[in-house]
């Protein structure tokens, strides 16, 4: 974050109504970064392993805080009967609704599907039509998830760490996400390592500084299976890398 900016300690203080998804996509995804392609491969291989013994009936997936990023949703397409993209910022909601409309998603996401389709379960899916059939968008706040664990697979990318400077809100965000998953649900969560905040267009947005130990500590109560990949890629000033956590939800019931 730039020196002299107005402090935005908490999630509610950030200018989410001014978030520019097109600028965000241009900065991060229009030209695929190697770190994102690596993340997509890790997602593909992990979810494929999780469903190697077959796909249960009526699997429902959720991408919490989807933002202007479609590849977490694409990673769930072969496994799900329905996928929900939960997003708070109205400009991002509008962007996502365009992506899952009958016209199909933007060509910016083709490179990510190309990585996914290297696995047979993904190659068997026609992603644009499937996305339009099973994916829906809902405006909602991560903090308002009711704790009724109902999703069978879930993703949360650059959300809990990238919405507030407050450690308690980071921890609450992780807890709300994990409490929304059913026992045994595979999940993937990504975090910017040691981020001090970020800028999209003309606006600054807050971040909570986290490292691998902090991420592991926040997730371990909710999972008996956890792997954390420290991806040593810096994609912009103000952070030290990217962490990707993959695991399965355990049976513990944590306070909402």
Q: Tell me the per-residue pLDDT of 30-87, one tens digit each, with 9 for 90 and over.
A: 999 999 999 999 999 999 999 998 888 889 999 999 999 999 999 999 999 999 999 9
The per-residue pLDDT for 69 is 97
pLDDT at 9 over 90: no
Show the domain range for 64. 11-249
| CA 33, chain centre distance (Å) | 16
How many separate domains does the chain show? 1
Confidence (pLDDT) at 233 = 77
C-alpha span between 63 and 43 (Å, rounded): 13
Distance of alpha carbon 193 from alpha carbon 188, whole angstroms: 16
Question: For residue 7, is pLDDT > 80?
Answer: no
pLDDT of residue 256: 55
- Is the residue at 3 inside a domain? no
| 176 domain-assigned | yes
Average pLDDT over residues 113-125: 98
User: What average pLDDT does the chain have?
Assistant: 91
**Packing angle of the helix pair 21-28, 90-99 (nearest 10 deg):** 70
Average pLDDT over residues 243-248: 98
- The CATH number covering residue 192 comes to 3.40.50.150
Whether residue 36 lies inside any domain: the answer is yes
Q: What's the confidence (pLDDT) of residue 92? A: 97
- What is d(CA 252, CA 55) in angstroms, rounded to the nearest whole number? 23
Flag whether 146 is in a domain.
Answer: yes
38 within domain boundaries: yes
- The residues, any chain, with a CB within 8 Å of residue 208's CB and separated by 6 or more, are 160, 161, 162, 164, 165, 166, 167, 169, 170, 195
Any domain includes 255: no
To 5 degrees, how large is the angle CA 218–CA 18–CA 16? 25
């Amino acid at each position: 974050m730039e020196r002299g900016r107005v402090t935005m300690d908490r999630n509610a203080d950030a200018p989410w109504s001014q978030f520019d998804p097109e600028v965000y996509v241009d900065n991060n995804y229009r030209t695929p970064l190697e770190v994102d392609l690596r993340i997509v491969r890790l997602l593909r291989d992990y979810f494929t392993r999780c469903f190697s013994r077959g796909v249960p009936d009526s699997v429902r997936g959720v991408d919490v805080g989807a933002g202007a990023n479609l590849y977490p949703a694409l990673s769930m397409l072969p496994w799900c009967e329905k996928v929900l993209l939960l997003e708070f910022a109205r400009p991002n909601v509008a962007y996502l609704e365009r992506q899952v409309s009958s016209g199909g998603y933007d060509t910016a996401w083709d490179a990510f599907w190309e990585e996914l389709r290297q696995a047979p379960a993904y190659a068997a899916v026609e992603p644009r039509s499937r996305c339009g059939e099973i994916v829906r968008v809902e405006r909602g706040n991560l903090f308002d998830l009711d704790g009724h664990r109902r999703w069978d697979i879930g993703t949360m990318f650059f959300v809990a760490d990238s919405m507030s400077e407050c450690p308690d809100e980071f921890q609450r965000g992780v807890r709300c996400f994990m409490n929304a998953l059913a026992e045994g649900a595979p999940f993937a969560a990504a975090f910017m390592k040691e981020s001090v905040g970020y800028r999209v267009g003309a606006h600054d947005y807050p971040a909570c500084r986290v490292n691998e130990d902090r991420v592991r500590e926040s997730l371990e109560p909710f999972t008996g299976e956890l792997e954390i990949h420290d991806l040593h890629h810096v994609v912009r000033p103000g952070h030290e890398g990217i962490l990707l956590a993959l695991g399965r939800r355990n049976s513990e019931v944590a306070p909402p």
